[in-house]
Chains A and B, each alone.
Chain A
Amino acid sequence: MTNPVSRREFLNLLGAYGGTSAVLQAGVALGFMPSSSQAAEITLQANNGKKVAILGTGISALTTAWELTKAGYGCTLLEASHRPGGRMFTVRSGTVIDEIGNYQRCEWDNDPHLYFNAGAARIPSIHSNVLKYCKELEVELQVFVNESKTAWVQDDAMNGGKPVRNTDYSSSMQGFISEMLSKALGDSQLDSSLTESESEILLSMLRRFGDLNEDMLYKGSTRAGYGSGGFLDHGTKKDVVALRDLLKARNGGSVMVTTQEGTGSGPLLMQPVGGMDRIIYAFANRLRDRIKFRAPVTEVMVKGDGVEVAYEQNGVTEVLKADYCFNCIPSHLMSGIPNNFPTDYSEALNYIRRGRAYKAAFQAKERFWEKENIYGGITWVNAPIQQIWYPPHNIHGKKGVVLAAYNFGGANYTEMSQEDRIEDLLKHGEKVHPNYREMAEKPMTIAWHRMNHMLGCAPRWARNRGGWSDKEEQMYETLRQPVNGRHYLIGDQSTQHSAWMESAIQSAHYALADLDQRVRSEPA
């Protein structure tokens, strides 16, 4: 019989976290929908005379160009790279990863299923503006499986380093949490704050949540799969795993929470069929003649009646004159480009830090995970590689691309050589799948901190964990105001929830609304 943590110990713990009554009082009423769940209606005044310079071809820039072009503005997009899309980047046969000092060309089989979303990969269902453009531009979507109960959890400290199934971990953890909470429900402090019927409902929910027995004890669950049988024969329950053993895994939080921050999306998200850059090319194909590639911006001068942007192409410096400028060049790169922005604007630009992120992927010789009953989802590894993702598409096909590392803090990968990165992902991966090394063909890696023309992942505004300081809020407002009514900073860098495509698109909509209002109020 397991009696992992005594009730007293648990109550002491609750006390340390401020008790439960605080939780009961602090809630707000249910029933409101976040505003982002509605896609924006863009109604720009049709206008043919105005010229707009758009710097970079991130999703915010492409959104801007698309909307303005539809309204009849004359747009020119300047892009430093050979490709559009910035952080929406898909690697497939022939793609070049121009990481500085670590140039790689992808030599995977030429097959539409074999791709790696090296930047953005997942679309939550409430990111209505991303979805709106997918619909408008006919980008086909499919389900992305963010959680699989048959995927693995691995920590060298747990189970002798052998992986356990997600469901073994999560069903047991749910059982233990429910058992402990139902014991605590007998406590006077919690009792007095709940009515009898509330307690009853809570208890019955806990029983189902944890799969507890009549006595509200967790004695194992068939949700973790059967020990034996299950179809022709009766299924038998697996032995109960000791809570103490599960508590050795230090990455349990990631296993238990699959919902992305602020998205309410849970285990199911979406992805474009064929790669995230299908969205980028849906825009770029329609704007094709307006985009100049390999045209890095080298100076931005805001004038009284417009903007002058210098850029380089084929070794020659050209100047683009426009009435307005929309700029999604990452702030930390803009700091190295001469400009005449006001001091407070430059200070705010220089303040934003660049986040790190690292991903790696390989082409698998065979879909070995399917033989382990895994079809999509994430394996959690307590090592810097952190995650292994299995492709949810092309089930039972020949090969598949496995995401072999995703570290959103970047760890030490930025400085590592390609050889060391590959050895690192194989070494940790084979703790989960014994035949991993043999299955892995041509690994590709990407450290966003070193990606040419990006040099970072999520822009980081707040320096303190506690949230945004007043000064930061103020700088943010400064950057949201166009310089001289002419230069708009766009991209997820000018939003308060970075690292989402939705934020980048909304930043464009915000700036477009401001422009539209200015244009409308101009004397005819």
Chain B
Amino acid sequence: MTSSTTMTAGARVGESAVRPDAPPKVQGRFAFGNDLWADGMLYGATLRSPHASARILSIDIAPALAIAGVHAVLTSDDVPGRSVFGLEHPDQPVLASDVVRYVGEPLAVVAADDPDTARRAVVAIAVDYEVLPPLVDPEAAPSATPIHPDGNVFRELTIRHGDVDSVGEVVVEGEYEVGMQDQAFLGCESGLAIPDRDGAGVEMFVSTQFLHVDVEQTAACLGIAVERLRATVAGVGGAFGGREDISLQVHVCLLALRTGRPVKMQYRRDESFVGHVHRHPARMRYRHHARRDGTLVKVEARLVLDGGAYASTSSAVLANATCFAAGPYRVPNALIEGIAVRTNNPPCGAMRGFGNVQACFAHEAQMDRLADELGIDPVDLRLRNALAPGDRLVTNQLLTGAAPVEAVIRACAQAPLPDIVGPAMGEPMARPGGAGRTAAGEPDRVVRGVGFAASIKNLMFSEGFDDYSTARVVVEDGRVTVHCACAEVGQGFVTVAQQIAREVLDLDDVVVAPADTSVGSAGSTSASRQTMMSGGAVEGACRIVREQIDTDRDAGRSMSGRYEATYEHHHAPTTPLDANGQGDAHAAFAFAAHRAVVDVDLDLGLVRVVDITTAQDVGRLINPLQAVGQIEGGIAQGVGLAVMEELVVRDGRIVNASFTDYLIPTALDMPTVTIAALIEDPEPNAPFGAKGIGEPPCISSVAAVAAAIRNATGRPVRRVPVRPEDLVL
């Protein structure tokens, strides 16, 4: 599956095609958003709140404007259109006017000749605040004084399924917590806006995941028609959910329109940490009921997600956490309450795994507890309860698509344990803590543990959202051009689009045009949806073109002309959840299992993740090499959340907003990844039967590492990331 994978030029569906953008990327010739440049360009910078909660008494921009080289200083008074934005509910000010609700909230933006002058101007703006005590406890938020006119609760969702009063012969309870994770994409937020000559429109190049909704939101705030805002996805240095909502889009366009000059904005790393939404911290209480033989009877849970200061995608994240709170298991009865609240903490929203990550950590800990209580092997317990086609979820939705849950669990669990030397014999560098160890440690104080976990993830958008993608395909002189606004953020859609076009059209020469707004929306590069949605759009457009070509051929006409088709692909409609959280709210599902092997230093509380073995339900592999890359990369983010990654927030302030203090896995932290199986069970009505593969790798990997640490140490491990003090104190 790994080293033998070879690449094929002109590859079709199912082959390991090479990315068309890889050669420029390895040569440093690929232009990311922060590499953009325009003649006469100014640089933008943002003034951000130093307080988690404060009333703004006055803002004096005069000292900033007085600095030579400063061309504009804009505040909320300068926002001509809608003053707020937000993916689900526009509740977040473009620039704060009366109050600030989180540390890092923008109040003013500046355009200047160079970045340094812009930053000096930001510092020169004088703001008078009346500092207020911040609301930082999510449990207290619902009953606290509202910190926003829309109130402190983004959404409450209760699932009542089957007999909510049923009781099992065995009951296990637990409380769990997940810390705030950052997407930490390497290319910080960046964008370039170029005003139209007439000053009434603007062109934007931006590193984004969701181009058309960026444009809708930005145009509304600028007070211009969407047609006057043309936008192109600029090279994107990773995303993982952190670019689904807008950051600098409105700001950079406002500055360009005001100055009449091109303006570029790029965040630095410390600003990026406050410049996008994070993974929701969660507190979860669970009670699992089962029969003595291990059959699940009921799951009760209460999940509290801290959405921070503004709504972003909190309500959809909450729906995922709540709908999948019981995991990939048959649960006849359930009472699950979810609540997402507003606080003065940093805003949270989309991150890879989107609510399922948090719930999975808890439901898998519960399954292990239950196995322990019953004296059943944890894998057997999961197999006994594994969902299968024809089963119902706790939302009462019937599983009609591919659901090889048993297959992924078996394949992962049956893979031989890796032959990796144990801690006693290992190289010093390969021990927990590596070269940075502060104690020599007796070899027998380093212990190995193994843990297992499984997960479910909904694919594409849920709850009645009309989810679609658009592609235009042109064939001219045997060359195919695919035009789709799907944001390529690194996931490899550009390759997948080529492969699908070649497969359907039986032509090798396929070019993927830049993603821009001259074609219809492709929706967001999130929810593991682009292979299915934009892949479906490309397939649909290609099939129409193929028919045109075949018709000409069959009629004996020349096929040297130009063929063109545009296709909008929608997934099967879903419905909203009813008052009991019941309904066919989700379009499709993917399943995965992970087994983790860890070494733990019992004295230092340091963990080394040695190996992760996985099996994943992929529907059908479009590009095996890219699938491996998604799986390894997703597991890295899961390992990160399990043992090292947390934005530490004190009184609303992130205290570790740098790569010095917010640690993401390095090559030394990453375990070997063994892919035991990629289960190809085609999904009905999906292009070539493919399922999205981006998110499952970072869901149960977290829970598996936590389980392995429990296995090694006997500690309860109720919280991720696991900190040394959780293991030794």
A and B bind? no
Q: A residues within 8 Å of B by Cβ?
A: none
Interface set of B (CB-CB < 8 Å, partner A): none
